[in-house]
A and B are shown apart, each in its own frame.
Chain A
Amino acid sequence: KNEVEQSPQNLTAQEGEFITINCSYSVGISALHWLQQHPGGGIVSLFMLSSGKKKHGRLIATINIQEKHSSLHITASHPRDSAVYICAVVSNFGNEKLTFGTGTRLTIIP
């Protein structure tokens, strides 16, 4: 079993729909990252969370440390949101490296 699990693996939705991507992890963490990887391959850091909730534009990320679960929400989805979304955690062992989930491929249809 991977230390970081994401669901769903693939998600196709119509433009305008509300999107939720889930991430569960099994280790103690000091921080959780949500990353976006574009079709061209570049990786953008969307959020880094250690507690609570963060919002940036149409994106919202939440984390529940007790339940070891995080969600990424996209409101009013748009075709340009089509990408792979990756959850990655920093364990609390002090080594700072990221352990990645397997990603969720999101496709938004116009």
Chain B
Amino acid sequence: GEEVAQTPKHLVRGEGQKAKLYCAPIKGHSYVFWYQQVLKNEFKFLISFQNENVFDETGMPKERFSAKCLPNSPCSLEIQATKLEDSAVYFCASSLLREQYFGPGTRLTVT
């Protein structure tokens, strides 16, 4: 597609439950990035992929967060045993060269 798609738009989970977010990058884009936005203006890089390979995972809290980009499937970001501090908007972005195109985000609320 011509836009980055993210689902779901909103996700509510009780503390300790699992959350799974999906991202369909723009067709033909080889890079996918996941960012977490907390407190409105604070963005944190989580992980990036080059095609289906992890490119940079230096931002991932490894104990509970995992991510995949498999061929012919949306990319996914999974949080096991969510905590209150995981409440944030999670943005996915894709790029072909250097310019990144953002999806609309998934708002995760952990209660």
* Contact indicator per residue, chain B 33-54, by CB within 8 Å of chain A (1) or not (0): 1010000111101001000000
Candidates B41, B56, B104; contact of A95 at CB < 8 Å: B56
- Bound together, the chains give a CA A45 to CA B59 distance in angstroms of 22
Instruction: Decide if B2 is an interface residue (CB 8 Å cutoff).
Output: no
Which segment, of A18-26, A59-67, A70-78, A96-104, faces chain B? A96-104
* Chain A residues bordering chain B, tally (CB within 8 A): 22
Q: Are B41 and A86 in contact (CB under 8 A)?
A: yes
- Note all chain A residues with C-beta closer than 8 A to B48: 95-97
Q: A43-B91, A86-B41 are in contact. Are A96 and B99 (CB under 8 A)?
A: no
B35 (CB) vs chain A CBs: closest residue: A98
Q: A95-B48, A95-B55 are in contact. Are A41 and B104 (CB under 8 A)?
A: yes
Q: Are A97 and B33 in contact (CB under 8 A)?
A: yes
Q: Are A98 and B100 in contact (CB under 8 A)?
A: yes
Q: Are B55 and A31 in contact (CB under 8 A)?
A: no
Instruction: Decide if B31 is an interface residue (CB 8 Å cutoff).
Output: yes
* Contact indicator per residue, chain A 31-64, by CB within 8 Å of chain B (1) or not (0): 1010100000111110010000000000000000
Q: A43-B91, A98-B35 are in contact. Are A48 and B43 (CB under 8 A)?
A: no
Instruction: Decide if A30 is an interface residue (CB 8 Å cutoff).
Output: yes
A95 (CB) vs chain B CBs: closest residue: B56
- B-binding residues in A (CB < 8 A): 30-31, 33, 35, 41-45, 48, 84, 86, 88, 90, 95-100, 102-103
Q: What are 20 A-B pairs at a CB distance below 8 A?
A: A33-B99, A33-B100, A41-B89, A41-B107, A43-B91, A45-B102, A84-B40, A95-B48, A95-B56, A96-B31, A96-B33, A96-B55, A97-B45, A97-B48, A97-B59, A98-B33, A99-B45, A100-B35, A100-B43, A102-B42
- A-binding residues in B (CB < 8 A): 31, 33, 35, 40-43, 45, 48, 55-56, 58-59, 89, 91, 93, 95, 98-102, 104-105, 107
Closest 10 CB pairs of A and B: A100-B43, A43-B102, A103-B41, A97-B45, A95-B56, A48-B99, A102-B41, A31-B98, A42-B104, A41-B105
